Structure 1
Amino acid sequence: MSKRINVEILRAKDLKREDGVLGKNDPYIVVSIGHSLLGGQKHKTATQKNQSGDVEFNESFTFDAKDSDELKVKVFDDDLVSDDDIGSTKIPLKNLFESGRIQQWYQIGEGSKVRGSVEIRLSILA
């Protein structure tokens, strides 16, 4: 049985610079549930121009989800020709369905390829 969930993209920190040591990122985040060709849901934050260090997003999106779903989080750097893929993570929603609300930092990338962190608040809507 699916429920409505709220996904709040709060902020990001320590994002790897995609435009060299002196360049600044223009990050945005895409969050999705399911496969886009099979009726999946996807939302995109606004692009935050010329950022270095911590980035505030403070955007909320609503999804229909089941406890077996996972939230995919992808961080990009907006560029003129082709956007750079900074990194991604997947968040299983099982714990959210058990607790009702989760707020924590999620690493973007894994192991030696960690490319920053994103703080996300997840909650089940009544």
Structure 2
Amino acid sequence: MSHRIKVEVLRARDLKREDGILGKNDPYVELSIGHKLLGGQKHKTATHKNQTGDVEFGESFEFDAKASDDLKVKVYDDDLVSDDDIGHTKIPLDSLFEANQIQQWYQIGEGSKVRGQIELRLSVLQ
């Protein structure tokens, strides 16, 4: 059974700079549930120009989701030619359906490849 959920992209911190030590990121976040060829859903935040590592997003999106779904979170640096992949994470939604709302920081990347953190608030809508 599918439920409507809300995903709020609150902020990011300590994002790795993709354009060198003196460069600044132009980050945006892409959220997706499911596979695009099978009717998956995707949303994208606005791009925040010239950021040094901490970004206030303050955007929210709604999805249809099941407890067995994963929320895929990808953070990119917007560039003229090709956007750089800062990092990503995958969040299983089963614990959301038990708690109804979760707000926490998630690591972008894993192990030695951690590229920052993103704070999300996930809510099940009635």
Above 0.5 in TM-score?
A: yes
Distance (Å, rounded) in 2 between the aligned partners of 1:46 and 1:36: 21
Map 1:78-89 to 2 at 5 A: 78-89=78-89
Distance (Å, rounded) in 1 between the aligned partners of 2:84 and 2:97: 33
Q: In the alignment, is the contact (CA less than 8 A) between 2:103 and 2:122 conserved in 1?
A: yes
Structure 1 gap ranges (5+): none
RMSD (Å) for aligned C-alpha atoms = 0.4
How many residues end up aligned between the 2 structures? 126
Map 1:1-126 to 2 at 5 A: 1-126=1-126
Matched AA of 2:58: N
Identity %: 79
Runs of 4+ in 1 over 6 A off after TM superposition: none
Shift of 1:53: 2.5
Distance (Å, rounded) in 2 between the aligned partners of 1:53 and 1:45: 16
Q: Match of 2:97, SS?
A: helix
Distance (Å, rounded) in 2 between the aligned partners of 1:38 and 1:106: 27
Structure 2 gap ranges (5+): none
